[in-house]
Amino acid sequence: MEESFIARLKPGDRFTFSGKPLEFVRVRDMKAWVRKAPSTKG
pLDDT one-digit tens code per residue, 16-29: 999 999 999 999 99
Note whether residue 19 is domain-resident.
yes
Domain that holds residue 26: 3-36
Instruction: Tell which wins on pLDDT, 6 or 40.
Output: 6
Q: How many domains does the chain have?
A: 1
On whether the pTM is more than 0.85, the answer is no
With b for 16 or more beta-carbon neighbours within 10 A and e for fewer, the 10-22 pattern comes to eeeebbeeeeeeb
In a domain, 42, yes or no: no
Q: What is the pLDDT of residue 42?
A: 59
The amino acid present at 28, given as its one-letter code, is R
- Rounded distance, CA 17 to CA 13, Å? 13
